[in-house]
């Protein structure tokens, strides 16, 4: 699992959301969100920005480049 996938799972669980709920919040298909968490697909930049904004973290944090959200 990539740093991104691990962080995504951690953030979702910390916020008490299901994959379907998180997907809805970032305007993604539930299956796409699931694939992001499983590390099967990497989201495009516009989706990464929506994810970072929704969870209130930086893109560097999502990518595993920093441990500071």
Residues 6+ apart with CB under 8 A from 32: 23, 41, 43
Binned at pLDDT 50, 70 and 90, residue 10 comes out as very high
Superfamily of domain 3-63: lambda repressor-like DNA-binding domains (1.10.260.40)
- Domain parsing of the chain, residue ranges: 3-63
Contact 42, 36 (CB under 8 A): yes
Q: What does the chain come to in residues? A: 69
Mean pLDDT to the nearest integer, 12-20: 98
pLDDT value at residue 8: 97
Query: Among 25, 29, 31, 27, which residue's Cα sits nearest to residue 12?
Result: 25
Alpha-carbon dihedral angle through residues 42, 43, 49, 52, given to the nearest 10 degrees:
-50
pLDDT value at residue 39: 95
């Amino acid at each position: 699992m990539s740093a991104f996938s691990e962080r995504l799972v951690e953030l979702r669980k910390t916020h008490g959301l299901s994959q379907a709920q998180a997907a809805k919040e970032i305007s993604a298909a539930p299956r796409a969100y699931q694939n992001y968490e499983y590390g099967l697909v990497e989201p495009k930049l516009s989706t990464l920005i929506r994810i970072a904004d929704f969870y209130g973290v930086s893109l560097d944090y999502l990518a595993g480049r920093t441990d500071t959200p």
